[in-house]
Every structure is written in C-alpha cells, then in structure tokens.
Amino acid sequence: MPQVFSPAMNAVARSSIIAAVFLAGAATIAFGALYRSSFVTQVNNPRPQTVPFSHRQHVAGLGIDCRYCHTSVEDAPFAGIPPTETCMTCHSQVWTDAPILEPVRRSWDTGKPLEWVRVHDLPEFVYFDHSIHVAKGVGCVTCHGRVDQMPLTWKANTLRMSWCLECHRAPEKFIRPRDQVFSMEWQPDEPQETLGARLLEEYDIKVGQLTNCSVCHR
C-alpha cells in the first residue's frame, strides 16, 4: 500500500495540535472578552427612546426627586415608571409646543400609554425587590450610577449574579443611612467600615442568608 501521508506531514500534524490548543485558548479569551463587553452587557450604552427623556435635565437641572416619578420604589418590588399624566403635570404648561414632546401629548390625547424601552431587564427566573433595598439603605446610585448625569438612561452595572453577590456577601461595604438613599452625591463622612458595621446592626441585616439561592431564585 502506498503511503498516504508524506513524512513532511509529521510537522503539519504536530503544529496543528499546537494550533488547535492555541485556537481553543484564543476562542475562550475572545468569548470571555465578549461576554464582559458592553456589547453584551449593555453597560454604558444609552438606550434610544421615543421621547428623549433626560434625567440630567429633570434631576440635576430641575431638582426633581426620584420619587416624584418612580412613586412605588419605596413600597414595592417595581420602582414604577411615570404615567403620561406625570409628564403632563408640567408639560401642559412648560415646553407645550416642543416637537420632541409630541408623543407625550398624543399619548395624553388618545389615552394610549407611552412606550419606553427597558434599560434594565433581569431574566424572569430572578426575583428582585426595590423596597427592601431602599429600606435597608442601598442607594439608587450604588446600583444605577449617576442617573442625574444621564441625558439618556443607560445601565451602569451588569446586573449579573456575580454583581448581586458581591454586595450580598458584604453589604457593609455599600450601605448608607436611609435618608441618603436618594442622594446622588452623598459621601460617607466616616470610614465606610465603621459606618457599614453600625448600619448593619441598626437595620438588622442578616448577611449569612443573603447568598441563599432561594433569595433571588424563588
């Protein structure tokens, strides 16, 4: 039987083994990079909306409190997205002719709700509740970043399980006094360790259970 492979193929075979290992490694790294990239996590990617609502203008510029629009954030799992009526409270009087507010006026006239594209969207096998976090002193800014500087809203954190757990393992690194939850600028005036440890006690946060799977998957 004639030889199928010439002796030169030995080198090819050897190098292809190395190449396969190398390729697999490169693919893993590339996948890892992609998995963490903002293309996948959508972190820092502003979402275009039908009405270009700007938190920078309304929160930093006009000084409106988060709860004026996100009314249920203290009492419910869902933070609440303002109905058209809330926008019209002001925009029936100010900027009444602005073309960019046309969809708001149309929604008010027709009664058809405004559509917003979700910026944050946890998978549906995850349970999340705003009210408990607000009650235990986790600031909006800790999870959502400097919303008051966003001309269009974007995600400041991945909202991946590893991110939730980073805090659920050691909430004392992040919590603040309750009355500062809505502040975007608050800085602790004592070391975070001492403040965190004190608040942990004061708010009766039971750290041990916070990493149980059933807290978030129920």
Partner 1 sequence: MMLHNPRRSASKILRGLAGGVAVLALAGCHLDMWNQPKYKTLAKSEFFADGAAARPLVEGVVPFQVTTERNPRYSGVDEEGAFIPRIPYHVNRAFLERGREQFDIFCAQCHGRTGQGNGMIVQRGMKQPVSLHDPRVKGMPHGYYFDVITNGFGVMYNHAARISPRDRWAITAYIRALQLSQDARVDDVPEDRRDELSGTPNAPAASDANGGQDDHG
Q: 129 with 24: CB under 8 angstroms?
A: no
Residue 199 interacts with ligand HEC (CB under 6 A)?
Answer: no
Interface segment toward partner 1; rule CB under 8 A; list 89-97, 164-172, 194-202, 206-214: 89-97
Q: Residue 136 contacts by C-beta under 8 Å, 6 or more apart in sequence?
A: 171, 175, 203, 205
Interface segment toward partner 1; rule CB under 8 A; list 8-16, 75-83, 134-142, 205-213: 75-83
x-or-dash pattern for ligand HEC, window 11-50, by CB under 6 A? --------------------------------------x-
Burial class from Cβ neighbours inside 10 Å (0-12, 13-18, 19+) for residue 66 reads: buried
Q: Residue 143 contacts by C-beta under 8 Å, 6 or more apart in sequence?
A: 133, 156, 157
From ligand HEC, partner 1, none, interface partner of 52 (C-beta below 5 to 8 A by class): ligand HEC
Interface segment toward ligand HEC; rule CB under 6 A; list 8-16, 27-35, 123-131, 185-193: 123-131
**How many CA atoms does the CB half-sphere of 152 hold within 13 Å?**
14
Residue 68 interacts with partner 1 (CB under 8 A)?
Answer: yes
Q: Looking at 14, 29, 33, 35, which residue binds partner 1 (CB under 8 A)?
A: 35
Calculate the dihedral angle through the C-alpha atoms of 135, 73, 152, 188, rounding to the nearest 10 degrees.
-20
Residue 20 interacts with partner 1 (CB under 8 A)?
Answer: no
Q: Looking at 90, 98, 100, 207, which residue binds partner 1 (CB under 8 A)?
A: 90
